[in-house]
Amino acid sequence: MIHAQQKKRVLFLGNSYTAVNDLPGMLASMANSMGDTLIYGRNTPGGYTLQDHFSNGLTRNKIREGNWDYLILQEQSQRPSLWDAEVNGFVFPYARKIDSMFDAHNPCGQTLFFMTWGRRSGDASFCPSWPPVCTYQGMDSLLNLRYRQMADQNHAEISPVGAVWNHIRNQYPSINLYNGDGSHPALAGTYAAACCFYTALFRKDPTTIIFNPGLDSTSASAIRAAVKAVLFNDFTEWHIGAYDPWAQFIATPYIANRLKCYNLSRNASQYHWDFGDGTTDSAFSPEHSYAVRGNYQVTLTVSNSCKTSSYTTLVNTIDSLPSVVMTEEGQLYPNPAQEIVYMQINQADEVYLVNMLGQRIQVYYERSASLLKIHLSNIAKGTYIVVIRQKDKKTYRKLVKS
């Protein structure tokens, strides 16, 4: 498969975990081997915290250069795993301050947090005063939690390097990720980080990566497979692309060649509809009349001030008329819902969900008198369209599973 070449400008702010084995340089070489380009800046003094970076002149000047696509932000290796007062007082506030500074000078840039890993046997230095970090698992789980919290608080993405390391430790224990101190990365550990960042930044399947910094081929392949399992197969878990414009809609023909468009897009401020017959519209959810029945490609392009996204679907105004009717009768409650959602409706011959990829999802439902009860316990969190068929018409409702 041939992928489009991409160019990214990335600023690394971290410490020795980023500097050891030259992670930025390794990532640039990896991108180059795949036909992509990574231009990077860096400030990675040993032991630096986010608090140190916020007051550092070089960090500030690098951010003010502007035109960065991404800011990669890595906290000191221990600090995010410490007690709540320490994290709430000296980690979260400085993540917010640096992210805000970056946004001010890079309005189209995105912060990407570098989730680090637990030390090989836990953190002995803090074990007496903070027992949760006495083991690898305890320290690693706290780091995982705190980086997720920083990403949530700052509407940022995550490069889950620590989660990839955890997967490798469990699935490929013969691969040594640590250097002799049990803390910093060995070559394999940095390679895992580079594969993780390449996947997050360029959004390509890591198993297609051909670059190898000198590992045995079996270990390198296992590392790439781990990145695919943890990150590439679940971008939503790590917010990859969550803040980009995303185009999606349902187009439903109904009476007399008229089309109703139900806009499901997110993170956009401008909308351009192409109805496939030479006409366009900029409304959020327009209706459109066709002069002649037939097949039409309907395309929605959405954008914000930085990026665009498009989605196209085929509308057949012959087969769909007049069997589908959009109706405003009946409401789902509660909405958002967790386990069960209800709707007052007299008849339901078929009920199913449509996810944001347009895929149909079957659900278990019950009818009693005029009440419809839909079970959601086996449905993943997200936004859906509930489709209820009643003989010759369909009812559509937007539902959020929380």
Residue 322, pLDDT score:
35
Residue 398 pLDDT class (50, 70, 90 cuts) = confident
Q: Is residue 402 a contact partner of residue 338, using CB atoms and an 8 Å limit?
A: yes
What distance in Å separates the CA atoms of residue 291 and residue 257, rounded to the nearest whole number? 7
**What mean pLDDT is predicted for residues 235-240?**
94
Q: Using DSSP bridges, classify how beta strands 7-13 and 70-73 pair: parallel, antiparallel or unpaired.
A: parallel
Lowest model confidence (mean pLDDT) among 19-33, 70-84, 176-190, 317-331: 317-331
The structural domains of the chain, ordered by start, are 7-238 (3.40.50.1110), 245-326 (2.60.40.10), 327-402 (2.60.40.3080)
pLDDT, tens only, 284-306: 989 999 988 888 999 999 999 99
Q: Is residue 248 a contact partner of residue 313, using CB atoms and an 8 Å limit?
A: no
Residue 250, pLDDT score:
79
Q: Which helix (H) or strand (E) holds 260?
A: strand 258-263
Residue 324, pLDDT score:
34
pTM attached to this predicted model:
0.79
What distance in Å separates the CA atoms of residue 24 and residue 15, rounded to the nearest whole number? 12
Integer CA distances (angstroms), 368 to 332, 346, 387, in order:
15, 9, 18
Q: What amino acid occupies position 343?
A: M
Residue 49: Cβ within 10 Å count: 17
Supply the mean pLDDT for the chain: 91
Q: Is residue 232 a contact partner of residue 199, using CB atoms and an 8 Å limit?
A: yes
**What mean pLDDT is predicted for residues 5-14?**
96
Query: Does 323 score more than 70 pLDDT?
Result: no
